[in-house]
Amino acid sequence: MEGLASSPSQAMEDQDNSVDKNEAMSKVFENPLILDIILAQLNRFDLKTSRLVCREWGDVGATILGKSSILRVSHLFRYYESKLYQVTPLHQKLKQHLIIYSDFDPSIPLNKKADVIIKLLTQVFQDPREIAIRASEKTTVTDFFNAISMMTSTRIQSIFIDTVSYGDEIRPQMDLKIPAQPSLTSLSFKVYSNVAPNNPIEFQPFLQLLIDSAPNLNSLDIWTSFYPNLEKCRNLKVLKFSFNHCYDAPYPSFSLADVVRMLVQVKDSVTEMKLSYDNGVVYIPQEPRSYICVIFDNVELKKFTDNCNVPVMSKLTSLAIHAVNVYKIRDFFDEDHFPKLKNFSLRNNSVDLRMSTHLTLWKRHRGVESLTLTIDRPWWEDDLAGQIIHLFPAVKKFDLKIKVSCRISIHEVGRMMAAFQVWDLEKVNVLVQFMYESSYLIVVLKNMSTWKGVKRVHFKQVDIKEADLSASIQDIILHSRGLQNVKISSCLEPEIARKRIQSIFEASGVPIQFT
């Protein structure tokens, strides 16, 4: 037993070693690089609810949380005895990404909301990187512009404004000025309304001020009823423009000439562009709790003169046109005006005009390698596939989204699908919606099996009866073998029938997901 006893000096040495180990471990867990790795394993909820017991842990945790989340600030202030006070203190690292809604704490009077926004942006959050406005009241947007005009920070990188234009008319302050924002690279401005007097045109001066203040703007996404001046956007890379049509006078109609003017201003910098049009879906309330959906589709276009010079978009590599009946720009869609175009997306959301109408404006483009087609309206009466194959012979990646109407014959589906086998494809994604007979599903699979490349297909909102589906299971399995993945989202009821079909597909060894 005597040999097991430690001498006093040995005990002291062991204690010193233990202290050294604890100190070394403490230094390890105070290292920001190591804490970054450890705390990054927590999801956002766990990180928010964790009790970080030392300053170093709190700093790193707040940094990670600040990067991955956006702080809703509208309820951070309350009024008490006619005084405005902040509800809770915040770590500085959580003040980088902010979102402001129109709904504030109930204690704040209506006439004090502007004061709250000004205090938020000039005193509490003096140096944010990202600001989002989701406003149900358009005065929230004007209050934001007044606040940003008072800010001293010039390090804002992103601003997102999403609002409606309902309510009282707003009038911009003629002397309003916004300090230069050299760090602002991303701006999104979307105003939803298409009935006068609730028209987004009244926001034009505010948006123009913001655009002009950002010399290094890289991305601009706007949904408006006007055409901003982009002359100062020398570094713009991404332009997304959607015209929100207003059907009541005195607001202007859509103007192709004004669209072209915008494009001329950014022709030497933009690499990605999307052109859209809101053709007027209005929900009219009916008693007691229902709505009638009315679609206004008679687009009144200003005359676009042929002598309007269209620009050469020298750096554009990606183009999306999601309103084929509107952007009818002649002598524009060709290799000369889009010399570097690689990715093209086309969507037809018009009731009375076909996609083939737009394609007649195109000349052959051998540079397009990736093509996305979204066809929401009747397409089977045209030789649409033949047009597309002729215009874009070099496509390698193909995304096709179609809706199958009960009015279309199986022959027409097969005719269009079969045409694409001539392409030397490498990757294919197909989405087919609304199928009511298994024969349609089979004809899609059968034709896709002849296409080249890695192929995936998703049949969505499939409402095929159990007897019909059961009789076609072996054909579905047979024609799915050449595809990487087949997903069938079925409305089949009851659940026992769905599970029975699912078990047959799983046992086949073919990559079919039946849900």
Which of 10-14, 69-73, 212-216 comes out lowest in average pLDDT? 10-14
Contacts of 515 (CB under 8 A, 6+ apart): 487, 488, 489, 490, 502
For the chain, which residues make up each domain, given as ranges?
A: 16-69, 70-252
Q: What share of the chain has pLDDT > 70, as a percent?
A: 72
CA distance 73 to 51: 22
Which string of DSSP letters, residue by residue, matches 348-398?
E--SS--HHHHHTT----TT--EEEEEE-S--TTS-HHHHHHHH-TT--EE
pLDDT of 456 reads: 98
Per-residue model confidence (pLDDT) at position 294: 38
Taking only the tens place, the pLDDT of each residue in 393-409 is 999 999 999 888 766 78
When mean pLDDT is compared over 89-98, 126-135, 506-515, the highest value belongs to 506-515
Place of tokens 């015209």: 243
Q: pLDDT tens for residues 135-188? A: 888 888 889 999 999 988 788 999 999 987 666 667 666 678 899 999 999 999
Question: Exposed/middle/buried for 421, CB within 10 Å: 0-12, 13-18, 19+?
Answer: middle
State the pLDDT at residue 60: 55
Residue 93 per-residue DSSP state: G
Assess whether pLDDT exceeds 70 at residue 56: no
Q: Inform me whether the pLDDT recorded for 210 exceeds 80.
A: yes
Which one has a higher pLDDT value, 411 or 158?
158
Q: For 284-309, how does the pLDDT look when each residue is reduced to its tens digit (9 = 90+)?
A: 333 333 333 334 444 444 444 445 68
Amino acid at position 253, single letter = S
Cβ(381)–Cβ(356) below 8 Å = no
Statement: residue 124 has pLDDT above 50: yes
Question: What confidence score (pLDDT) does residue 284 get?
Answer: 37
For range 245-252, the mean pLDDT: 58
Residue 468, pLDDT above cutoff 70: yes
Residue 440 has pLDDT above 60, yes or no: yes
Residue 48 is predicted with a pLDDT of 56
pLDDT score of 37: 56
Higher-pLDDT residue of 30 and 138 is 138
pLDDT of 426 strictly over 50: yes
**pLDDT, tens only, 107-122:** 888 888 888 898 888 8
Across the strands, what pairs with 462? 435, 490
